[in-house]
Chains A and B, each alone.
Chain A
Amino acid sequence: MSRRPVGWIDVVVGAACAALVLWLGYLMGSRVRYNWNWSVIPQFFFYYDEAGSRWVPNLIVKGFLMTIKLSVWATLLATPLGVLTALLRIGRNLVGRLLGRTYVELVRNMPPLVLVYIVYYFVSDQLVRALGVETLLLSLGPGMQGFLEGCCAPVTKMPVFASAVFMLAIYEGAYIAEIVRAGVQSIDRGQWEASSALGFTRLQQLRHVIFPQALARTLPPYAGQVISTIKDSAIVSVISIPELTFQGLEIMASTYRTFEIWITITALYFVLTFTCSLGVQRLEAALGARRGY
């Protein structure tokens, strides 16, 4: 791709964009009557604990970490779920195809908010009670409880945390399934036929011929979906998961510093997702370089 030098039209468009942003900023400042007070924000990141004479993470940092934990666990669960569903959908088994299709269509055609409530009020509750998870968790030793708190949530909050992770995994899984399916089906028929002619079984065809090629095509949209998971995780704030958005809403309810907090929260999400975007870009470049396009 050759780069064109900056022409006059670029300058005009750039200037127009800058003017629009400035004008909106001016409107915000002049029309919206608001007493800005940024001084309350930093203490919600970290505060100095006089008694223990050390810095302690506060609500925003805790929420930030919870968002990361949610996204990581949801992605870890959604990926196998998505791959499995994709395999069912491209498979020869009719029941499998029906199951896969039903799952994908159900989830994709349902507002995620509705899904959150269904999982929270109906599914997780009955499951947790039926399996007796709560008593099991409370009977764990302090070391194990501490470990769980570090990588998931405090033991008493585990059922809610689990339902949030399941909901996100179910939701993202459907999209990942479609991404993987598209990747596999984009591979030329000839590849299947050739490998079949070489006497590969279907599993071997997938493993040695189709997947390696599909992987390169699947990775970029898959990475995009992972970034989406981070943003989508905000939705579980409605079931009181103390993630970034929820903590922001809580602080707002206590301090009434609406704008400062929304801006802070936005910036934090941007930091998370943009870091991932940069990572994906490098990954794509690396893959592209290896395959020579």
Chain B
Amino acid sequence: MKRLTVVCTILAFGLGCALSPAYAKSLREDLAGQSTIEQVLKRGVLRVGMSTFVPWAMNDKKGNLIGFEIDVAKRLAADMGVKVEFVPTKWSGIIPALLTGKFDIIIGGMGITPERNLKVNFSRPYDYTGMSIVANKKLAKGFSRLEDFDKPSVAIAARTGTTAAAAVKKYLPKASLRLFDDESQAVQELLNGRVHALVASAPLPAFKALEYPDRLFMPVKGDFTREPIGFAVVKGDVDTLNFLDNWITVVEAEGWFKERKHYWFETKDWKGLVE
């Protein structure tokens, strides 16, 4: 009985030794084959999750999507040699949608935060953005510093699930935060004078202040936060992350991001496409 056990153990050990390299190899192949990048190439379509966010992504007059992030996604797909398909998704539900496989990647100006990073993997940043604040001239009369807004009597609007909402909680903890699903509703609320100010990613607040100079103003010039922006993909997929990081390095070296960013954020040449 004892001898049998010993023999069995040795046999099992030997079998394990013989099989494990083969097993590891097939496991590696499996992983590589199942990576998002491989799936995209096989399908020939890169499905991109995004949300409308002027000027990152928006509809033009012909109903086509345009914007900074749209350019980035199109370039990424073109460099991979696949077609691109956009999946417009509510910002508040965009991470669950990525996790359940509704699309392959989020390219939507998503700020890299530790909370989000616990759920998804981020590429290295390809862009930086900051929060700025635009206020109602009547309600926020005389407010000139960020601290002026940090009072219980002040209402601030922001978009649900954005880093803008997080920034309000962090920098204006005493103000009451009102959340909206879309930027347009938040802007309307500000114009109607039901909130004192709107916090959003630059350059939207500045654009709105220019558009309605009789009602809105910028109490604080410039941005009060600086946030890195990256692509988000599902966890446990090294191949995709490696590809994205290196793609960013290559495209960055060309100066392409800068040129696109200038076009969408510092010029208004595209305004004619939308209205």
**Chain B, 81-96, contact with A by CB distance < 8 Å: what is the 0/1 string?**
0000101111001001
Report yes or no: B59 in contact with A251, Cβ–Cβ below 8 A: yes
Residue B100 is within 8 A (CB to CB) of chain A in the complex: yes
| Total CB contacts across the A-B interface at under 8 A | 76
Considering only residues 242-271 of chain A, those with a C-beta below 8 Å from chain B are 242, 246, 249-256, 258
Q: Does B69 contact A (CB under 8 A)?
A: no
Q: Which of B10-56 contact A (CB under 8 A)?
A: 43, 45, 47, 52-54
Chain A 201-238, CB-CB to B under 8 Å as 1, else 0, gives 00000000000000000000000000000000000001
Contacts of A160 in B (CB 8 A): 102
Does A121 have its Cβ within 8 Å of any Cβ on chain B? yes
B252 shortest CB reach to chain A, Å: 28
**Is the pair A59, B90 in contact by a Cβ cutoff of 8 Å?**
no
Residues of chain B within 8 A of A258, CB atoms compared: 184-185, 188
- B61-106 contacts to A, CB under 8 A, are 61-63, 85, 87-90, 93, 96-97, 100-102
Taken together as a complex, chains A and B put the C-alpha atoms of A248 and B206 apart, in Å, by 25
Q: Is the CB of B54 within 8 A of A125?
A: no
- CA A251 – CA B185 in complex, angstroms? 12
* A147 interfacial contact with B, CB 8 Å: no
Q: Are A33 and B191 in contact (CB-based, < 8 A)?
A: yes
A43 at the interface (CB under 8 A from B): yes
Is the beta-carbon distance between A256 and B192 smaller than 8 angstroms?
no
Bound form: Cα–Cα A32–B192 in Å: 6
Is residue A47 contacting chain B, with contact meaning CB distance below 8 A?
yes
Q: Which residue of B lies closest to A47 (CB)?
A: B62
Q: What residues on B are CB-neighbors of A156 within 8 Å? A: 45, 47, 85
Other-chain residue from B54, B89, B93, B215 in contact with A33 (beta carbon distance below 8 A): B215
- Contact A253/B102 with A33-B193, A43-B61, A240-B87 known, Cβ cut-off 8 Å: no
Interface residues on B, range: 35 or more
- Tell me which residues across on chain B come within 8 A of A253, comparing CB atoms: 52-54, 58, 182-184
A101 proximity list for chain B (CB < 8 A) = none
Judge whether B199 is part of the interface by a CB distance below 8 angstroms. no
The reply on A145 being an interface residue by CB < 8 A is no
Interface size of A in residues (CB-CB distance below 8 Å): 32
- Chief secondary structure at chain A's binding surface: helix
The answer, yes or no, to whether B275 is at the interface (CB within 8 Å) is yes
Whether A58 lies near B62 (C-beta < 8 A) is yes
Q: Beyond A33-B215, A138-B43, A253-B183, is A62–B100 a contact (Cβ under 8 Å)?
A: no
Residues of chain A contacted by B97 (CB below 8 angstroms):
240
Nearest residue, chain A, Cβ from B91: A253
**In the assembled complex, A289 has its CB within 8 A of some CB on chain B:** no
B172 sits at the interface (CB 8 A):
no
Q: Are A255's CB and B89's CB within 8 A? A: no
> CB-defined interface of A32-56 with B at 8 Å, one 1/0 digit per residue?
1111000010011001010000001
Residues of chain B within 8 A (CB-CB) of A121 are 96, 100
Residues 168-218 of A contacting B (Cβ, < 8 Å): none
A240 with B89: CB separation less than 8 A: yes
Given pairs A33-B192, A121-B100, A240-B97, 5 additional interface contacts (CB within 8 A)? A40-B275, A58-B61, A125-B101, A252-B182, A256-B188
Q: Which residues of B contact A (CB under 8 A)?
A: 43, 45, 47, 52-54, 58-63, 85, 87-90, 93, 96-97, 100-102, 182-185, 187-188, 191-193, 212, 215, 274-275
Q: Closest 6 A-B residue pairs measured CB to CB?
A: A253-B52, A254-B58, A59-B63, A252-B184, A254-B59, A58-B63
